Amino acid sequence: MPIQINKDIVGKEYPPFVVHVERGKIKEFARAIGDLSPLYLDDAVGRASEWGDIVAPPTFPIVFREDGGTMLQDLGVDISRILHGEQEFEHRKPIRPGETYLCRSKVVDIYEKTGRSGPMAFVVRETTATDGDNEVVAVMRSVTVVRL
Amino acid sequence: MKYARIYFEDVEVGAEMPSLVKGPIQQIQLTRYAGASGDFNPIHQDDGFAKAAGMGGIFAHGMLSMGFVAQSVTDWTGVGTVRKIGVRFAALVRPGDIVTCRGKAVAKRPAKDSQEENLVDLEVWAENQKGEKVVTGKATVALNSRA
């Protein structure tokens, strides 16, 4: 019997949360991927660059999360049922160490499909990060797959 | 070439990106990525948990593979050039797998005025050692003109 999920959360906006980008976190993230570009890792190289500091790799904003598993609780699903289906990042400004960003996250769609491995739900969430000038720095769209 | 930036004029539609080979994926790398990213889903760490969840054992975070794909792009076009990158996670990456990232330029969109950037659209993907696609997607990079 497939499980039921709570589709009423389409349109739900989560409370905004603040992230502070630490220099060490950028380096830890780049090293975990094995991307050893000095523009991520070497402060002196960053200082001499067009940005005047190191910057974050393109997939870094995935760390912008305020967890506690709130969305999973809302959906009524256990973490063992979820898979990451799709992910997109739109970059409008570089992400820099020492900056603070305000993130807003919203569930934009939920749809169901039956694949080879059975019925699945696709939960689409969009998160927008803005800087102190209220300019959008990054937009992320993620699709979480729930094995029903 | 690794840390070079390329110019808009240097890329032709159909041009292939240099491939980037990552792995074999080690379990410790998944632990490290969990710590770096904050994604502590035990399905990537605990074999018993992953088996009980019906996944046949642990597998890599999709985001780790996406990180490899993003690196393959920036290794070619330069850090700071990615305006958009979007992928679908097509198959699981397991410990021991070798992930090869590839891509090609599919369109060039020159700036229409000084407010716009020169954009190149890329098709990107990653495949495992059996040639199966594990990640498929698209990226858009902004490149400076030589002029």
Is the pLDDT at B29 greater than 90? The verdict is yes
End-to-end CA distance of chain B: 21
Is the pLDDT at A70 greater than 90? The verdict is no
- The full length of chain B comes to 147
User: What is the rounded average pLDDT of the residues A42-71?
Assistant: 92
Closest to B37 in 3D by CA, of A71, A11, A30, A98: A30
Contacts of B38 in chain A (CB under 8 A): 63, 65, 67
Contact B76, B141 (CB under 8 A): no
| Distances B56 to A41, A48, A71, B1, B59 between C-alpha atoms, Å | 36, 48, 26, 40, 9
Closest residue of B to A140, CA-based?
Answer: B86
Give residue B91's pLDDT. Answer: 97
CB contact under 8 Å between A32 and B37, yes or no, is yes
B2 pLDDT band, cuts 50/70/90, is very low
A49 pLDDT band, cuts 50/70/90, is very high
What domains are defined for chain B?
Answer: 11-25+61-143 (3.10.129.10)
Closest to A94 in 3D by CA, of A52, A127, A123, A147: A52
The single-letter code of the amino acid at B8 is F
Chain-wide mean pLDDT for chain B? 95
Give residue B4's pLDDT. Answer: 60
Least confident span in A63-77, A104-118, B22-36, B128-142: A63-77
Give B55-96 pLDDT, tens digit per residue: 999 999 999 999 999 999 999 999 999 999 999 999 999 999
Calculated CA dihedral for residues A106, A109, A115, A117, nearest 10 degrees: 30
Give residue B147's pLDDT. Answer: 73
C-alpha B104/C-alpha B73 separation (Å) is: 10
Is the pLDDT at A68 greater than 70? The verdict is no
Cβ of A80 under 8 Å from any chain B Cβ? yes
Contacts of A39 in chain B (CB under 8 A): 3, 79-80
Q: CA B89, B95, B97, B103 torsion: positive or negative?
A: positive
Is the pLDDT at A69 greater than 90? The verdict is no
CB contact under 8 Å between A87 and B66, yes or no, is yes
| Tokens representing residue A143 in the block | 């699709």
pTM (predicted TM-score):
0.96
Q: Which residues of B92-125 are buried (b: 16+ CB within 10 A; e: fewer)?
A: bbbbebebbbbbebeebeeeeeeeebbbbbbebb
Report the side by side order of strands in the sheet with B82-89.
A17-20, A100-115, A118-130, A136-147, A82-91, B82-89, B133-143, B118-127, B99-109, B20-22
B146 pLDDT band, cuts 50/70/90, is confident
CB contact under 8 Å between A34 and B29, yes or no, is yes
Contacts of A85 in chain B (CB under 8 A): 88-89
Cβ of B36 under 8 Å from any chain A Cβ? yes
Give residue B1's pLDDT. Answer: 36
C-alpha A109/C-alpha B70 separation (Å) is: 26
A125 pLDDT band, cuts 50/70/90, is very high
DSSP helix, strand, coil percent of chain B (3-state; round to 5): 25, 30, 45
| pLDDT above 70 as % of chain B | 97
Contact B106, B123 (CB under 8 A): yes
Give residue A66's pLDDT. Answer: 78
Give A136-146 pLDDT, tens digit per residue: 999 999 999 99
What domains are defined for chain A?
Answer: 7-21+58-147 (3.10.129.10)
User: What is the rounded average pLDDT of the residues A118-142?
Assistant: 97
Q: ipTM score here?
A: 0.96
Is the pLDDT at A104 greater than 70? The verdict is yes
A67 pLDDT band, cuts 50/70/90, is low
- DSSP single-letter state for residue B20: E
